Chains A and B, each alone.
Chain A
């Protein structure tokens, strides 16, 4: 039930996050402990706020809250850009998850050990503010503000390493690729608003059929924006670029938060996508992008990049699940996969911290870290009891009627599992002793606990058992989305789907062991046998070369245009033409002037010459006066008679 209410508390908490972020980023090096405590205050405020707003503390029934206002143009205008707060259970859960995930990152103090840790902390706070805004946005326009904050936060998370040229390149690339995504989504929303389509994210009614073109175009642009935000194929280039940043921070701030922000929009607009029939096509695109990301991940030598690509592929799969199955399994899969990726990143970087001397504590720690890494792989790939299963199993089950779909999806699932387990094996081979802090283990455990299915679905197995006989709690996901995540009953189809699912997972686990778990890494061997092919795949299918050529061509066009228009036409040809024209006109006029002057001179000379000559004759005495008078008299007489 939706009730009108004043602006909500949590929105102001997001603003406080932002202020904390700016404060730490600007003055963090002067604050005690570089302002980490401020971030903890932010996290505690978020937990308190969610508790208050959900009615948990007061044992009240939860009510959604809506508040809206005109931002650009009056609210009543057809093309108005409105903003507002929509606080429903989904938003609250997202807000909570963002805060808890950030808390996990804060626990891992090794992430913030570098010289300019205040910059990373500030970036984390700004990203959290962005996620807060995204969780509570009523309209896409406010969601874009949150999205922009997550992008800015992601870019600033590199700030500690900006003095390094390679990091600077990665940062710039992150900024422009993500701003591409932001702009495409923004254009999508602009198109939707021109069709006067309802963009309030709390509305469940579908758009009218007459606006299907603008609707389809707008939603397609939003979808394309997600591709860029999540760095899916064909923009894998950023993911395969190495950086000094901690893998956990990179996954959270640069991959997950910007992608989650847009995924929220896709979930909120799911019914519109479905009504316009866009999901099958877009879902297949996402599935293909996922496959390419997994393939590229398998050929990586650096486990960090492989993990980044596994995350990218996971985001694509979440999109595919959203398109083919629905929002509940998609969200479950997204969350499970994301938490697993974060834990893997944490554990991998912890195992890279080799001690100077190997001692029992360090070996014990490494043992725990490895164990947790395999648990994270199990969680991420969808083993029993974890949240990912609640997303991927319904997806396979729903596709079971279509042989093509189910085959392709199982194929995808195989590669997803294979890469996930390969990464776990690679991480486990990093070292036999670790000097990392126990807090790393604690933060990884926190994330793995959050990825337990029981917290979300209320069932111990995550829905692997027919009829949910293992239910111990009410389902939070059902409460959030208002519908059961899957309808998985005891039927032959369900048995087939379940068998296929577990079969494929098992095969992927065994294949991962065979390729990466033993002494020789088969993927490295394949790369040595086929160096060009493996390099092609590992470098994101060389799409960067294509982009480079494209940009070079455009730059050449620009340079040529500048050279021709500015350098030649306006600097040389036009001035030369004008000069030539003026010179010609001038010489023409000069010639005419000279001719006229000559003509006038000749005429005047002739006019003057005749009487002058006569006078000269008179003056010199050559012409006698009398003779002059005789001639004159003769002329006078002649004139007289003629007149007569």
Chain B
């Protein structure tokens, strides 16, 4: 199967970003939406046409890019990245629709979102390390402008900090790639050619010391990605982005970029460094557990919807990491599935909190004295409350919602390897049910606060773009079978390499 669907998925948004620059504003919105939807349609067709029950790469597109350095344009999909292709396909048209009525520089905003869609799609589908880094590095750039121009009062600082974090992270990954490149003969960046534990036992000398290639590269890549994932305690910039960035931009960061970061970690570690994972999996599991608990504990004290979302994201990343670190088929399948659900749930959270802060002018639900500042939205806007309810129960893993599938698989997978993870995930989910339901009460229930007077329910456009997120959470929760059949063979094959 090679019908260039991947290239179309990657390039359509870029073409849209360029072409809408030459068109006046009312039409430029439509061009942006159509370009994003065209890419999404290609992505959906791509995933729908994938063969299940196979671990083979599909829809491969490969040709040399920089021949002298064995850098190639190599794109493919398999069970590990198909769900993220789907996630990006769902999210970006939603984000463009959400920013439809942006008054300031709508063309710029849409074009940056389209560039981001290109970058993330490319990073997900790339099967060449250099190409992947190229797209991954590119994905950091739009955030600087998106936050720096359309953000809140402290936007410059937030944009600067995010760029510094991304740059340092990318630099670490780049160093790792250089080490990897020169450690193998013939040199190359192709993930397929480098996979299968080829770095096991490889060493290099530096300043008179002997280093293992796998460990050094694994550590550098892990730190590089941890800076953008985010992982506690390297998450400071992330919280600032949450409070200063526009809600849609933070959704793009939390719901799309974060799952992509965890995917890259999964792909590179399982394919390139299976020898290290045997030992490092415990560290990954522990980092995941710390993220889960610290995210939950910090979320408990939040009084602002956006910072709460950031900590919920931190906690959810912990679940994904625990699944990755379980080295167990059930856990890893759950982790891959959870990347999609995490994206959808966080997008839903970000979008409804964005709608609330746009209409009330505030995103804090409790003031410094602990008194409610919002409240009563359920009475005035039932549709918003239903969306929020669905998102919350999905984040908590209620049966029948997307979160249940991911959570159950990760808990089952990780418990069979390390029983302590049960208590960690249990504690974190209990905390989550406490703070999420309390947030729901403070925002949606009770007597309407002064800020909520005249609060309008979802408009037709808002219902239109909320629908894919809510339907996705419900549909994938009730019928995860096709997606799991897609993921499972790839995971089983990768795990056989690790073992």
Binding site for B on A (CB under 8 A): 26, 70-74, 77, 79, 81, 141, 144-145, 147-148, 152, 159, 162-165, 167-169, 171-172, 175-176, 179-180, 182-184, 186-187, 190-191, 193-194, 551, 554-559, 561-562, 565-566, 569-571, 574
Contact of A186 among B161, B297, B408, B446 (CB under 8 A): B408
Residues of A within 8 A of B126 (CB): none
- The CA-CA distance from A148 to B297 in the complex, in Å, is 25
Q: Report chain A residues within 8 Å CB of B412.
A: 79, 190, 193-194
Cβ-defined partner of B446 (8 Å) among A152, A164, A193, A565: A164
A residues in contact with B413, CB < 8 Å: 79
* B48–chain A nearest beta-carbon distance, Å: 20
Known contacts A71-B481, A73-B488, A179-B433; is-contact A162 B445 (Cβ 8 Å): yes
Evaluate contact between B397 and A168: CB separation under 8 angstroms. Answer: no
The reply on B434 being an interface residue by CB < 8 A is yes
Are A179 and B398 touching (Cβ within 8 A)? Answer: yes
> What per-residue 1/0 map shows which CB atoms of B425-464 lie under 8 Å from chain A?
1100111011001101100011110000000000000000
**Contact between A172 and B438, CB atoms less than 8 A apart:** yes
Cα A179 to Cα B438 with chains together (Å): 13
Taking a contact as CB atoms closer than 8 A, the residue among A73, A164, A559 that contacts B301 in the complex is A559
Q: Does B138 sit within 8 A of A, measured CB to CB?
A: no
**B191 at interface by CB-CB < 8 Å:** no
Contact of B333 with A by CB under 8 A: yes
- List the A side residues contacting B415 at CB < 8 Å: 190-191, 194
Among B235, B299, B330, B445, contact of A73 (Cβ-Cβ < 8 Å): B330
Contact B300 A145 (CB under 8 A): no
Residue of A at shortest CB range from B385?
Answer: A162
Residue numbers in A under 8 Å from B147 (CB-CB): none
Q: A73-B488, A162-B379, A566-B236 are in contact. Are A172 and B441 (CB under 8 A)?
A: yes
Complex interface: chain B residues within 8 A of A163 (CB): 376, 379, 446-448
Check B236–A558 contact: CB distance below 8 A.
no
List, in ascending order, chain A residues with CB within 8 A of B429's CB: 183
B405 within 8 Å of A (CB atoms): yes
A and B contact pairs by CB, cutoff 8 A, 30 listed: A71-B481, A72-B409, A77-B330, A81-B408, A141-B408, A147-B399, A152-B398, A163-B376, A163-B448, A165-B447, A168-B441, A171-B441, A171-B445, A172-B440, A172-B445, A176-B434, A183-B426, A183-B430, A183-B433, A184-B426, A187-B426, A190-B412, A194-B412, A554-B297, A559-B298, A562-B301, A562-B302, A565-B232, A566-B235, A569-B233
Give the nearest-CB partner of A192 in chain B: B412
Given A144-B399, A190-B412, residue A162 in contact with residue B430 (CB < 8 A): no
| Contact residues in A for B434 (Cβ distance below 8 Å) | 176, 551
Q: Which of A73, A179, A187 contacts B422 (CB 8 A)?
A: A187
Give the Cβ gap from A186 to chain B, nearest Cβ, in Å: 7
**Which of A144, A152, A554, A569 has the most B CB atoms < 10 Å from its CB?**
A554
| B480 and chain A: residue at smallest CB distance | A72
| A164 adjacent to B297 (CB under 8 Å) | no
Minimum Cβ distance to chain A for residue B487 (Å) = 10
Q: Tell me if B484 counts as interface (CB < 8 A to partner A).
A: yes
> A144-B399, A180-B433 given as contacts; is B300 within 8 A of A551 (CB)?
yes
Does B378 sit at the interface, judged by CB under 8 A? yes
> Are B236 and A571 in contact, with the CB atoms below 8 A?
yes
Which residue of chain A is the closest to B429 with respect to CB atoms?
Answer: A183
Contacts of A162 in B (CB 8 A): 378-379, 445-446
Q: What 0/1 readout, one digit per residue, does chain B (379-399) give for beta carbons within 8 Å of chain A?
A: 100100000000001001111
* Across-interface contacts of A176 in B (CB, < 8 A): 433-434, 437-438
Q: Please, how many angstroms separate the alpha-carbon atoms of A125 and B375 in the complex?
A: 27
Nearest chain B residue, comparing its CB with the CB of A213: B419
- Compute how far the CA of A168 lies from the CA of B439 in the bound complex, rounded to whole angstroms: 11
Interface centre among B239, B399, B426, B440 (most CB of A within 10 A): B399
Within 8 A of A (CB), among B273-290: none
Instruction: Specify which of A558, A559, A565 lies most central, judged by the most chain B CB atoms within 10 Å of its CB.
Output: A558
Closest CB pairs A-B (n = 6): A570-B236, A168-B445, A172-B441, A168-B446, A558-B301, A559-B301
Which residue of chain A lies nearest to B392 when distances are taken between CB atoms in the complex?
A175
- Chain B nearest CB from A130 CB (Å) reads 11
Complex formed: what's the CA distance from A179 to B403 in Å? 14
A26 contacts which chain B residues (CB < 8 A)? Answer: 382
Asked whether, in the complex, the Cβ of A145 is within 8 Å of the Cβ of B400, the reply is yes
- Contact yes or no, B446 A141, CB < 8 A: no
Whether, in the assembled complex, B172 has its beta carbon less than 8 Å from a beta carbon of chain A, the answer is no
Contact A73 B378, beta carbon cutoff 8 Å: no
Distance to closest chain A CB from B434 (angstroms): 5
Kindly identify which residue among B301, B379, B400, B404 contacts A555, using a CB–CB cutoff of 8 Å: B301
Whether the Cβ atoms of A562 and B298 lie closer than 8 Å is yes
How long is the Cα–Cα vector from A184 to B425 in the complex, in angstroms?
11
Residues on B with beta carbons closer than 8 Å to the beta carbon of A144: 399, 404
Contact A183 B396 (CB under 8 A): yes
B408:A565 contact, CB within 8 angstroms: no
- Chain A residues positioned under 8 Å from B440 (CB to CB): 172, 175
Expressed in whole angstroms, the Cα–Cα distance for A561 and B294 within the complex equals 8
Chain B residues positioned under 8 Å from A70 (CB to CB): 481
CB distance A570 to B299 under 8 Å? Answer: no
Kindly state the separation between the CA atoms of A191 and B415 in the bound complex, as whole angstroms. 7
CA A81 to CA B405, docked complex, whole Å: 9
List residues of chain A with CB within 8 A of the CB of B397.
183, 186
Per-residue 0/1 for B296-339: is the Cβ within 8 Å of any A Cβ (1 yes, 0 no)? Answer: 01111110000000000000000000000000001001000000
Residue of A nearest to B376 (CB): A163
Considering the complex, give the chain B residue whose CB is closest to the CB of A180. B430
Most B CB atoms within 10 A — which of A145, A163, A193? A163
Q: In the complex the two chains form, what is the Cα distance from A167 to B298 in whole Å?
A: 27
Name the residue of chain B whose CB is nearest to the CB of A187: B426
- Contact present for B437 and A172 (CB under 8 Å): yes
Q: Is B411 an interface residue (CB 8 A)?
A: yes
Q: Which residues of A contact B333 (CB under 8 A)?
A: 73
Contacts of B62 in A (CB 8 A): none
CA distance A596 to B285 in the complex (A): 52
B174 at the interface (CB under 8 A from A): no
**CB-CB under 8 A for A561 and B298, given A566-B236, A569-B233:** yes
CB of B422 within 8 A of CB of A191, answer yes
A571 vs B398: C-alpha distance when bound (angstroms): 37
**Which residues on A sit within 8 Å (CB–CB) of B240?**
566, 571
Known: A73-B333, A164-B447, A194-B416. A570 touches B301 (CB 8 A): no
Cα-based distance from A159 to B445 in the complex (angstroms): 9
- Nearest A residue to B294 via CB reads A561
Shortest distance from the beta carbon of A368 to any chain B beta carbon, whole Å: 38
The answer to whether A148 touches B422 (Cβ under 8 A) is no
Residue pair A72, B400 in contact (C-beta under 8 Å):
no
Residues of A within 8 A of B437 (CB): 172, 175-176, 179
A558 touches B298 (CB 8 A): yes
Q: Tell me which residues across on chain B come within 8 A of A148, comparing CB atoms.
A: 393, 398-400
B240 to chain A, nearest CB (A): 8
Q: Which of A169, A182, A558 contacts B297 (CB 8 A)?
A: A558
A440 → chain B, closest Cβ, in Å?
Answer: 30
Residue of B nearest to A83 (CB): B399
Cβ-defined contact, A190 with B411, below 8 A:
yes
Which residues in B have their C-beta under 8 angstroms from that of A561? 294, 297-298
Query: In the bound complex, what is the Cα–Cα distance between A194 and B425 (angstroms)?
Result: 15
Distance between A231 CB and nearest chain B CB, rounded to angstroms: 15
Which B residues are CB-close (under 8 A) to A571?
Answer: 236, 240
Interface contact A190-B301, CB-CB below 8 Å = no
Residue pair B300, A558 in contact (C-beta under 8 Å): yes
* Minimum C-beta distance from A293 to chain B (A): 23
Q: Are B300 and A141 in contact (CB under 8 A)?
A: no
Question: Closest CB of chain B to A119's CB: distance in Å?
Answer: 10
Assembled-state Cα–Cα distance A72/B333 (Å)? 10
Given contact pairs A72-B484, A163-B379, A558-B298, A141 touches B399 in the complex (Cβ within 8 A): yes
A77 neighbours in B (Cβ, 8 Å)? 330
- Cβ contact within 8 Å between A190 and B408: yes
Please tell me if B237 contacts chain A, counting CB pairs below 8 Å: yes
Name the interface residues of B197-246: CB closer than 8 Å to any CB of A.
232-233, 235-237, 239-240
